[in-house]
Structure 1
Amino acid sequence: MENQENTHIEEKSFFQSNTAKMILVGLLTLFLLIPLFFVQDLIKERSQRKLEVVDEVATLWGSDIVFYGPILKVPYTSFENYNVTDTKTGVTTIQKKATVNYVYCFPNELNNQSVVKKNESLKRGLYQPIVFTSDMQFKGHFTKPDFAKLNIADENVLWNKASVIVKTTNLKSIKSELKIQLNDQKLSFEPQNNEKSEYSILATNLFDYKTLAPDAKINFHFNITYNGSNRINFIPIGKVTTVSIDSDWDSPSFEGSFAANDTTKTINTKGFHADWKILDINRTFSQQHVNALPDLDDYTFGVKFIETVDEYQQNERVSKYGFLVIGLTFLIFFLIQSISKINIHIFQYAMIGIALIMFYTLLISITEHSSFTTAYAISGLAIVVLITLYSVSILKNKKFPLFIGTALTVLYTFIYVIIQMEDYALLVGSIGLFLILAAVMCFSRKIDWSK
């Protein structure tokens, strides 16, 4: 009988010990990772929804702009010999088959000046897509193609059937009449069928090169207005290519194979200005091509219009610290419980954990209607006040709840600072965690873990 009573006392003392409570709190922390994962899925779902809306608007308004041209296209006749044998006489004769091919010539000089203005009127529900209107001016000149270099006889060149073409990705969003001035002659562009490429082709009416350019030089000038989204890129086909872009967008990302001129590049809250100058020696393709145009996508350059801060990326980064917040909050309560001998039920731990999870759902929902900073402040304040008031009823005093409220405020502020950093986020985060560990070790050194 006495052994049974001792056994009963030992079992009771174990479940009331710090070890048992620590195990239960640890299991609850792991269990709360399940709703935290659901919150992260919600963030990804909302982010994907934003991408779908942006793609929808871009499809209607205008997609990315890539401009490749203008290009002088001159046909020539080539002859191929083949043998024809008469079946009756057995005599074999040599005949010629004529085929029309093309030489594509890039300009000697290509200058572009573009003005890009953002459009903020196409808001779709909660989302503001990156769309703009660009006014682009092109000018430069072609020199007479060197057919001798290509082993093409001058008499085989069809000079009276020359044309100028441009390739671009965004035909349906062109908002201006397309005409090009070639010396003293003005020609209109017309679209051509080009199902094998992502580029669309615009070509002028045929003209006589020798009549148009008796001095063998063709000066060109044309304007084009686009509706576009996300980016503008060019391909430097001129022997000398210069591009200048002015925009009221304050967060550009310069991309591609060629960097903008650092001495003239400016970026401020009112927008940006950027210049490029690319010479033929800076790339590896020639100025003349026979039969087909080369794929020059690897030589594109330009600017991407970006959002400096994506609210869903920030929400996702904050949610990755969810386990740390829950673990540290439970640790604070556990240390207070162990030091003050106040009993905190596992259900009360669960309520505190659910409140911490609610911070992330509040954050994402408020962010969609406000700025991330405002949403973070409101959500953090709401949860800190809720847990602090709940702690008053649990701990039966004001000293410990005040400490808990202060600790949570410091923790949420610390996480906010980290996610705003890029270069020093890892360093600051590591130092912060080290200080937290040191504080926990300091407060826990007097706890009697044998009880």
Structure 2
Amino acid sequence: MTTQKQKIGNWFRNSISAKMLMVGFLILILLIPLGFVKDLIRERGFRQTEVIEEINTKWGNQVVLNGPILKVPYHVYVEEKVFDEKTKTFLTSQKPQRHAAYFFPWELDINSNVKTQPLERGIYESVVYNAKTQIKGEFAKLNFSVKEIADENILWDKATVVFKTSNLKGIRNTVKVKIGKEEYALKPKFDNTYMNTLESGFLNEIQSIQNGPLSFSSTIDINGSSSLQFIPIGKETRVFMKSNWHSPSFNGNFLPETEGKKIGPSGFEAQWKVLETNRRFGQYFFDNLPNLSDFSFGTEFMVPVDDYQKTERTSKYGLMIIGLTLLVFLLIQISSKIAIHPFQYLMIGLALVMFYTLLISISEHQNYLFAYLISGAAVVALITTYSRSILKNSKFTLLVLGSMFSLYTFIFVIIQLEDYALLVGSIGLFVILGTIMFTSRKIDWSGAQ
């Protein structure tokens, strides 16, 4: 019995296969704390998202503006039959029903100056903006003939001007619209449409628009976050946007003109031109104003990849770093016959896992680069010092130092890249595999199995 136990013990101590199985088993065990660290990173990322959304909600969410729009009511007469008890017959009458027509500007010029600023809550930060937007243009003759509406049925004295916006909370001024020589204040109106509505009182002498164009102008001062977009309701819509934000993402159905776009460290300038022929709707609607948000365009004030995203991407390479580092120690053990206890492998693996907890905790207070350098240097120094005590060989210690430095540098480069991350990662893994194959060819695999 004792002899059998000795044989098993000798096999574990001397067998290459046993050592490889042991290292493989430890790698699987280390996936458990690595998984906990990934959950922690995701949890902190979700917490950041919740705080940013709360900040944005109180300041003002994304903004979509649609207007100004002329709303002109009209009557449609519907035949109504009423039974008369005296004559025992049905009496016919014409009952008026009120409808509304919505007319868009022929020319719409929008000039928006957007100033961004950071808002902080604890360790979290959000980017919000204030947009001072000037809107001007003109309305042309209104066409009621498509519905065969008689002039006497048009309620010119009930006409109003309407703005639609996704964000009433962020408006910082009393919105007024000057039409012709008259100025009208807009007030919120409750309805069940797709966006919040601002509507003026009844317009004076709006019927004069049938004799010639009628100009308008307005200014909106609004707080928002995430994005600022406009709906191109003009027969010709021109938008100019200027901001101090350095990382804009132009989104929506229309991109800015190439020759008018400037992006630099101090901000950006962009201009759009959208014609009626570029979209799938006309210059007027009767009865109901549809949801035109799908045709909006503008700018997303995109925050570059934040530290939580970078840390989460880094953690995805955790298995590779742990596996390759322990493989280096295994190859050293096999080639040099130096005894490395499983407990020592476990300590090295746990130190590698600790890198990610250091990275996430430091990056919450400093930038990702600083956190990566400190965390990487701390773990590399710890494992190099520890390997010096167990390997007792300067050459092997330098090998551990060099391999870990190369691994962490390689991962950092991949994280910084976006478009070429997959290409560089594939080439790097190919080089690592080739290095391991070249190094391991000198090992005597014919030893005890």
User: What TM-score comes out, normalization by structure 1 length?
Assistant: 0.96
1:294 maps to 290
Distance in 2, Cα, partners of 1:67 & 1:349: 61
1:329 and 2:325 matched: yes
CA contact (8 A) 2:159 2:206 kept: no
1:144 maps to 141
Task: Please tell me the residue identity of whatever aligns with 1:416.
Answer: F
Q: Secondary structure at the match of 1:289?
A: strand
Distance in 2, Cα, partners of 1:201 & 1:245: 24
Select 1:51's aligned residue among 49, 52, 55: 49
Question: Over residues 10-40 of structure 1, what are the superposed CA-to-partner deviations in whole Å (9 max), with x where a residue is unaligned?
Answer: 3233211111111111001011011111111
1:81 maps to 79
Distance in 1, Cα, partners of 2:289 & 2:269: 31
Distance in 2, Cα, partners of 1:169 & 1:81: 39
Task: Please tell me the residue identity of whatever aligns with 2:63.
Answer: I
Q: Secondary structure at the match of 2:124?
A: coil
Percent identical residues: 48
Q: Measure how far apart 1:214 and its partner are.
A: 7.1
Q: Measure how far apart 1:132 and its partner are.
A: 0.6
Q: Measure how far apart 1:127 and its partner are.
A: 1.4
Select 1:65's aligned residue among 58, 63, 66: 63
Q: Measure how far apart 1:212 and its partner are.
A: 5.8
Distance in 2, Cα, partners of 1:405 & 1:126: 34
Q: Measure how far apart 1:209 and its partner are.
A: 3.6
Distance in 1, Cα, partners of 2:138 & 2:186: 18
2:9 maps to 12
Distance in 2, Cα, partners of 1:92 & 1:302: 58
Task: State the superposition RMSD in angstroms.
Answer: 1.4
Correspondence list, 1:22-37, <5 A? 22-37=20-35
Distance in 2, Cα, partners of 1:35 & 1:337: 25
Q: Structure 1 residues 402, 303: closer, same or farther in 2, change over 3 A?
A: same
Question: Over residues 200-235 of structure 1, what are the superposed CA-to-partner deviations in whole Å (9 max), with x where a residue is unaligned?
Answer: 100111023446647342210010101100100111
Q: Measure how far apart 1:93 and its partner are.
A: 2.1
Correspondence list, 1:257-406, <5 A? 257-406=253-402
Aligned residues: 446
Select 1:416's aligned residue among 389, 412, 415: 412
Q: Structure 1 residues 291, 214: closer, same or farther in 2, change over 3 A?
A: closer
Q: Measure how far apart 1:384 and its partner are.
A: 0.4
CA contact (8 A) 1:182 1:221 kept: yes
Distance in 1, Cα, partners of 2:207 & 2:345: 89
Q: Measure how far apart 1:426 and its partner are.
A: 1.4
2:174 maps to 177
Question: Tell me, which stretches of 5 or more residues in structure 2 are unaligned?
Answer: none
Q: Secondary structure at the match of 2:120?
A: coil
Q: Structure 1 residues 12, 153: closer, same or farther in 2, change over 3 A?
A: same
Q: Measure how far apart 1:6 and its partner are.
A: 6.2
Task: Please tell me the residue identity of whatever aligns with 1:245.
Answer: M
Distance in 1, Cα, partners of 2:402 & 2:8: 38
1:38 maps to 36
Q: Secondary structure at the match of 1:187?
A: strand
Q: Measure how far apart 1:5 and its partner are.
A: 7.3
CA contact (8 A) 2:340 2:390 kept: yes
Q: Structure 1 residues 128, 349: closer, same or farther in 2, change over 3 A?
A: same
Q: Measure how far apart 1:415 and its partner are.
A: 0.6
Task: Please tell me the residue identity of whatever aligns with 2:88.
Answer: G
User: What TM-score comes out, normalization by structure 2 length?
Assistant: 0.97
CA contact (8 A) 2:71 2:161 kept: yes
1:161 and 2:158 matched: yes
1:431 and 2:427 matched: yes
Q: Structure 1 residues 54, 8: closer, same or farther in 2, change over 3 A?
A: closer
1:229 and 2:225 matched: yes
Q: Secondary structure at the match of 1:324?
A: helix
Q: Structure 1 residues 214, 8: closer, same or farther in 2, change over 3 A?
A: closer
Distance in 2, Cα, partners of 1:324 & 1:56: 37
Task: Please tell me the residue identity of whatever aligns with 1:281.
Answer: T
Distance in 1, Cα, partners of 2:90 & 2:3: 120
Distance in 1, Cα, partners of 2:206 & 2:252: 38
Q: Structure 1 residues 365, 99: closer, same or farther in 2, change over 3 A?
A: same
Select 1:134's aligned residue among 131, 136, 140: 131
Distance in 2, Cα, partners of 1:356 & 1:43: 16
Q: Structure 1 residues 342, 217: closer, same or farther in 2, change over 3 A?
A: same
Q: Secondary structure at the match of 1:77?
A: strand
Question: Tell me, which stretches of 5 or more residues in structure 1 are unaligned?
Answer: none
Task: Please tell me the residue identity of whatever aligns with 1:186.
Answer: E
Distance in 2, Cα, partners of 1:384 & 1:5: 42
